[in-house]
């Protein structure tokens, strides 16, 4: 609460999300009510805050929280949030770790106050070279981005489904995570 207030006082936008909710993603059915309860409590607590405070339903849905299940749960969470925050902007990401590859599975509700959020770490062998948490990443050390027409076109092509969905729904896009590991 103090961090949110301090950030807002300094005219920053704040996004509150559920992050590293591993128990939920490992067993979504058992933990669904807990997940929805979190959003009931969060949305109720922050209902009077300015619109520079946004919510993100869940960071990087994955594991047993598959795309079809995520489509159901995200709508239920949004319904919980809308009971106390009918107009607050809510970011919704994709299953399969929040990447753009999950856009093809995403079913967004019709809501004028949602934002599509995606993560982008491509080309992966460049951005994650040497990353200790990624199997085989040491073999990628020395991978370069040469800024060729082919490399740039790949990025453009990667974002085509993201742009298509955003245009169809008339919603903005937020690139919530991007970049590369320090060894790149």
| Positions marked active-site | 60, 177
Report which secondary-structure segment, H or E, holds 16.
Answer: strand 14-17
Within 13 Å, how many C-alpha atoms sit on residue 26's CB side?
A: 4
Diameter of the chain by CA atoms?
Answer: 51
Name the nearest CA neighbour of 178 among 114, 105, 100. 100
**Which tokens belong to 147?**
């800024």
Name the nearest CA neighbour of 174 among 54, 11, 68. 54
């Amino acid at each position: 609460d103090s961090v949110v207030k301090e950030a807002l006082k300094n005219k920053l936008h704040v996004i509150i999300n559920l992050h590293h909710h591993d128990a939920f993603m490992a067993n979504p059915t058992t933990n669904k009510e807990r997940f929805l309860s979190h959003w009931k409590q969060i949305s109720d607590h922050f209902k009077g805050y300015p619109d520079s405070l946004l919510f993100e339903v869940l960071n990087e849905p994955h594991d047993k929280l598959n795309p079809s299940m995520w489509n159901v749960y995200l709508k239920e969470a949004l319904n919980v949030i809308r009971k106390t925050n009918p107009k607050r902007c809510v970011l919704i990401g994709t299953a399969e770790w929040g990447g753009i590859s999950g856009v093809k599975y995403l079913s967004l509700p019709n809501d004028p106050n949602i934002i599509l959020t995606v993560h982008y770490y491509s080309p992966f062998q460049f951005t994650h070279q040497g990353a200790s948490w990624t199997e085989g990443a040491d073999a990628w050390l020395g991978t370069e981005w040469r800024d060729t027409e082919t490399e740039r076109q790949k990025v453009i092509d990667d974002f085509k489904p993201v742009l298509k969905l955003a245009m169809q729904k008339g919603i903005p896009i937020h690139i919530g995570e991007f970049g590369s590991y320090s060894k790149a």
